[in-house]
């Protein structure tokens, strides 16, 4: 891992896994997503990881028009790095998944380092009364759908977004094999340092969210990439605990309602900003400095907020 620098806080605002029934605080409409993003940045998030949702139903969406109803407003009201996801919606063709990012040409995009099964279906058992009919079907659908990227998809994203748009990536690694996939790309010189590697823990289908796996992901990352990468971590059930462990080890952190709906134990977070403020407070108490958006851009060698298309 690169020599210790300031910790970058990323906030994933809404995602595509949790549904409106699960929390009344999940941002749904473009105005809600924009407001939540600005508040998270004001609380200390240097980077914002963004998905879109249908404003009427809350269903995850990769509609290009929806993204452009909130990303310009976020850019106008904060200097945070805007990360547009390329995961889209379950089973969506890569052409549709990439459309918002190719149009927006952001500084960063999310990037899954392989195809995988992310199992959302167990969450059906936690609820009985659904706000929308699509919600249980969406969760059940994850039982039979693989998400993410084939090697062909990966090469296309690197060509069209990386080379074509000057976009860099939040490389999301849900298991150890994804680190080796990234090392393969580095060996072929399809990616170049500094790599921003986001270890994703606790998702059904990937590596578990416990302290030993935090250590394991970092050990493997250090062995493969040395000083060529910045390491960050996100987790589901143990979001704050795992983030704190990673930060103490010199890593950056990701929080947000995409990854966890809770603030402490079973207590729902009332906003993304609450989660950012909590991890920021923990880091401050530990004497760990956090990066501004400008410092994050410098650390990750981003092209700059004036070079985007929104």
DSSP state letters, 13-80: -S-SSS-GGG-TTS--SHHHHHHHHHHHHHHT-SEEEE-EE-TTT--EE--HHHHTTTHHHHHHH--P
Indicate the DSSP class of residue 307: G
On whether the CB atoms of residues 71 and 50 are closer than 8 A, the answer is: yes
CB contact set of 302 (below 8 Å; sequence gap of 6+): 81, 107, 108, 168, 296
pLDDT at 105: 98
- Which residues, listed in sequence order, are joined to residue 231 by a DSSP beta bridge? 197
Over range 270-295, report the average pLDDT. Answer: 98
Please give the Cα distance from 47 to 187 (Å, whole number).
Answer: 28
pLDDT at 57: 97
CA 41-47-49 angle, to 5 degrees, is 105
The domains located in the chain, with CATH, are 9-117+148-307 (3.20.20.70)
Mean pLDDT across the chain, nearest whole number? Answer: 96
For residue 37, name the pLDDT band (cuts at 50, 70, 90): very high
pLDDT at 142: 94
Q: Of 143-147, 165-169, 190-194, which gets the smallest average pLDDT?
A: 143-147
pLDDT digits (tens, 9 = 90+) for 78-123: 999 999 999 888 888 999 999 999 999 999 999 999 988 899 999 9
Please give the Cα distance from 108 to 99 (Å, whole number).
Answer: 14
Give the 3-state secondary structure of residue 83. Answer: strand
Over range 272-284, report the average pLDDT. Answer: 98
**How much is the pTM?**
0.97
Give the burial string for 216-229 (b: 16+ CB within 10 Å, else e): ebbebbeebbeebb
The pair of structure tokens assigned to 270 is 């009332």
Please give the Cα distance from 153 to 173 (Å, whole number).
Answer: 16
Q: For residue 17, what are the CA distances in angstroms to 12, 63, 87, 160, 194?
A: 12, 17, 11, 27, 29
241 pLDDT higher than 90: yes
Please give the Cα distance from 9 to 296 (Å, whole number).
Answer: 9
- Which residues, listed in sequence order, are joined to residue 198 by a DSSP beta bridge? 172, 232
115 — alpha (psi -120 to 50), left (phi > 0) or beta?
A: beta
CA 207 to chain centre: 16
- CA nearest 73: which of 111, 110, 27, 18? 27
pLDDT at 1: 81
On whether the CB atoms of residues 181 and 111 are closer than 8 A, the answer is: no
CB contact set of 155 (below 8 Å; sequence gap of 6+): 190
Over range 250-264, report the average pLDDT. Answer: 97
């Amino acid at each position: 891992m690169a020599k210790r620098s300031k910790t970058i806080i990323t906030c994933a605002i809404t995602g595509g896994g949790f549904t409106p029934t699960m929390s009344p605080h999940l941002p749904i409409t473009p105005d809600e997503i924009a407001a939540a993003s600005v508040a998270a940045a004001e609380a200390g998030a240097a980077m914002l990881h963004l998905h879109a949702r249908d404003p009427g139903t809350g269903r995850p969406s990769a509609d290009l028009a929806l993204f452009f109803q909130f990303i310009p407003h976020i850019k106008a009201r904060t200097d945070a790095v805007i990360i547009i996801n390329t995961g889209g919606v379950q089973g969506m063709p890569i052409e549709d998944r990439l459309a918002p990012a190719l149009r927006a040409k952001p500084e960063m995009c999310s990037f899954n380092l392989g195809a995988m099964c992310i199992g959302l279906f167990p969450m059906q058992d936690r609820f009985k009364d659904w706000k929308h009919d699509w919600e249980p079907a969406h969760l059940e659908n994850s039982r039979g759908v693989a998400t993410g990227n084939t090697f062909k998809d990966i090469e296309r994203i690197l060509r069209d977004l990386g080379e074509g748009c000057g976009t860099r990536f939040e490389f999301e690694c849900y298991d150890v094999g994804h680190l080796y996939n990234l090392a393969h790309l580095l060996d072929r010189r399809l990616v170049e340092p500094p790599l921003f590697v986001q270890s994703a823990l606790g998702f059904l289908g990937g590596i578990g969210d416990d302290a030993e796996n935090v250590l394991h992901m970092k050990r493997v990352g250090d062995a493969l990439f040395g000083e060529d990468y910045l390491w960050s971590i996100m987790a589901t059930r143990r979001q704050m605990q795992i983030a704190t462990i990673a930060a103490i080890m010199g890593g950056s952190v990701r929080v947000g309602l995409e990854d966890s709906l809770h603030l402490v134990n079973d207590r729902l977070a009332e906003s993304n900003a609450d989660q950012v403020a909590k991890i920021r407070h923990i880091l401050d108490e530990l004497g760990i400095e956090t990066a501004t958006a400008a410092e994050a851009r410098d650390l990750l060698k981003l092209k700059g907020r004036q070079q985007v298309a929104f």
